[in-house]
Chain A
Amino acid sequence: MRTIVFGVPEWSGHRAGQHLDIRLTAEDGYRAEREYSIASAPGERVAITVERLDNGEVSPYLTEELRQGDEIELRGPIGGYFVWDPEDESPLLLVAGGSGIVPLRAMVRHRRGSGSEVPVRLLYSSRTLADVIYRAELDEPADGVEVVYTLTREQPTGWSGYARRVDEELLGEVAWPAEEGALAFVCGPTSFVETVASGLVELGYPPPRVKTERFGATGR
């Protein structure tokens, strides 16, 4: 896992939750392109967090070969659906599976940077504690931000947090009650997102208030 910060000339600025595309071109002209969520808040330098996939075309280069000062081709910002703006004053429910935390981290940072005081609950499902990304940052959340972990595969000795997969029952314990009118953002692998989104709708969240983003092994 590596977080990379880019200096982008003429960057138009981005919103929390948007992506960018990275395009690599080999000497023979072969091109590979991947979308990555932007990990930094609007106003911060553009950053992405990349997980190395052993059989990946792009991630091994980004995590192992890219050096400070190298130039790279990127395009963005992209997307307008999975985006949070501080003008929305509803409580925020953020639900992440694995590296689905990346765009949600940008939202949490944006909340702090913009001075927003909307209450936030972040539920983050990881396999093990070592898989938790941005742990130091998430362990010291700003006032009004609650971070709840669930570790689905392995828990350290004495772990007092959740230790099971996210389902409707767990959401019922962690999510804002539907009558609070919360806005939810759910990001993770497809099956995770489907489970969480349908669970929230069962709990009474209106579907338009549940924003979803799915990614696969070839994604970010």
Chain B
Amino acid sequence: MEALDGNAIGGLLHEVFGVEMTTAKGVCASCGAAGQVAELVVYLQAPGTVARCRSCSSILMVIVEVRGTTCVDLRGLAALDLASGAGLTR
């Protein structure tokens, strides 16, 4: 399947987080690479939506919808900083 990028999940992430997320900065927990969500490698039907690190290909985000519930797995991220300065850090 063809890889896209984080622009393709701007709407989905907005639904999950409630704000524009393509300019949020993610830090890969595996290799430490930091980059904007728009630049991640994204597979839309993997199944579910999978975002991988552009540097080391580690899985950073997995989003799956099961019976109307959206499950979001961010274990691959060390940090996710919103452009506004607010952020999620593990």
Contacts and interface: CB of A to CB of B under 8 A. Distances in A.
Interface residues of B, number: 20
B7 A214 contact: yes
Interface in A2-51: 19-21, 33, 35
Q: Which of A79, A82, A190, A213 has the most CB of B within 10 A?
A: A79
Interface in B26-62: 36-39, 44-45
A35 B49 CA distance: 14
A35 B11 CA distance: 8
B20 A78 contact: yes
A33 B83 CA distance: 26
B79 interface: no
Interface string B47-82: 000000000000000000000000000000000000
Main secondary structure of the interface of A (DSSP, over half): strand
A218 interface: yes
A75 B18 CA distance: 13
B16 to A, nearest CB: 13
B52 to A, nearest CB: 13
A216 interface: yes
A213 B10 CA distance: 12
A21 B11 contact: yes
Contacts, number: 64
Contacts of B36: 81
A33 B10 CA distance: 13
A216 B44 CA distance: 10
Contacts of A216: 2, 4, 44
A215 B20 contact: no
A91 interface: no
Interface of A: 19-21, 33, 35, 75-76, 78-82, 189-190, 193, 211-219
Q: Which 5 A-B pairs have the closest CB atoms?
A: A81-B38, A21-B11, A78-B10, A81-B22, A79-B10
Given A75-B11, A214-B3, 11 more contacts: A33-B11, A35-B8, A75-B14, A78-B22, A80-B20, A81-B38, A82-B7, A213-B38, A214-B4, A216-B2, A219-B8
